[in-house]
Amino acid sequence: MQIGARLLEGPGPFLMGVVNVTPDSFSDGGRFAAPEAAVAHARALAIEGADLVDLGGESTRPGAPPIPAAEEIRRVVPVIERLRAGGFTLPISVDTSKGAVARAALAAGADLVNDVTALSDPDLAAAVAGARVPVVLMHTRGTPADMAARADYRDVVAEVVAELGVALARAEAAGVARERVILDPGIGFAKRAEHSVALLGRLGELRALGRPLLVGPSRKSFIGALTGAPVEDRLPGTLAAVAACVLAGVELLRVHDVAAAGQAALVAAAIRGAAAPAGPR
């Protein structure tokens, strides 16, 4: 897939580094809210080995309130402009569910839209289709304010596959080319710990949708539920999830700790390659 100036080719794994330009994100809220701090962090992630960075101006943690598009643009666009003016060449993803924010970010130099609502807003779908850029469609239910109450499934994997299939059809109906779509099962979004674990254990079932997968297990609440670790101590659990994703063939991983995740991903990819069936003799 072509994302900006970069062609992501082959099985990966490719690493998407997280840059939260917010005062209230669940893991690093406020640390990179100032544009200069966010720019420095994006550059540091590139040095660590990120293949692209994901810039978000609105927290999507459980219970987070929505913010106006104008405020989200005020947080995100100056960072993109400074990165591009300074020669930053990695693809930049904008994490937004608003059409106005996507248009402003793409005009400033972003290359991809990462939407946690899977283009539920027709204006965002129109913006993505019009710009002809790649898009990540993530599974969730409801909004950050009420998604925890909507974590009710008979078979979480089957239902996520079905609902992502609906989202993919919605994107295509809006004019988004299928080959520009990446799918994300939405670890921790409208999902309890057991749901996230089930999804990570059965990622292969999402292959029925025929699109590359992005998974974001980094520092998520399921790790805390399993281990009791607070957010700042969830790196070991994150690396275990990263390895599981790579062994399942996931192409893209959204992570905070790029260098550590990159090492875990490389080892897991080598094991995956070694375990592949031998070709015909």
Predicted local distance difference test score (pLDDT) of residue 22: 84
List the structure tokens of 189: 């979004």
Can you tell me the mean pLDDT for 125-147?
A: 94
Predicted local distance difference test score (pLDDT) of residue 64: 74
Residue type, 97: S
How many whole angstroms separate alpha carbon 136 and alpha carbon 131?
14
Q: Is the pLDDT of residue 105 over 60?
A: yes
Closest CA to 224 of 214, 213, 238: 238
Q: Is the pLDDT of residue 240 over 70?
A: yes
Task: Find out whether the peptide bond into 230 is cis, omega within 30 degrees of 0.
Answer: no
Q: Is the pLDDT of residue 27 over 70?
A: no
Can you tell me the mean pLDDT for 173-188?
A: 97
Predicted local distance difference test score (pLDDT) of residue 146: 87
Q: 10 Å Cβ neighbour count for 128? A: 28
Residue type, 46: A
* Helices marked H in the chain: 35-48, 69-85, 99-108, 122-131, 156-173, 193-201, 221-227, 235-247, 258-275
Predicted local distance difference test score (pLDDT) of residue 280: 55
List the structure tokens of 225: 């539920």
- What's the CATH superfamily of 13-273? Dihydropteroate synthase-like (3.20.20.20)
List the structure tokens of 57: 């101006």
Average pLDDT, the chain: 93
Task: Find out whether the peptide bond into 78 is cis, omega within 30 degrees of 0.
Answer: no
How many whole angstroms separate alpha carbon 235 and alpha carbon 237?
5
Full-model pTM: 0.93
How many whole angstroms separate alpha carbon 5 and alpha carbon 109?
11
Residues designated catalytic: 220, 254
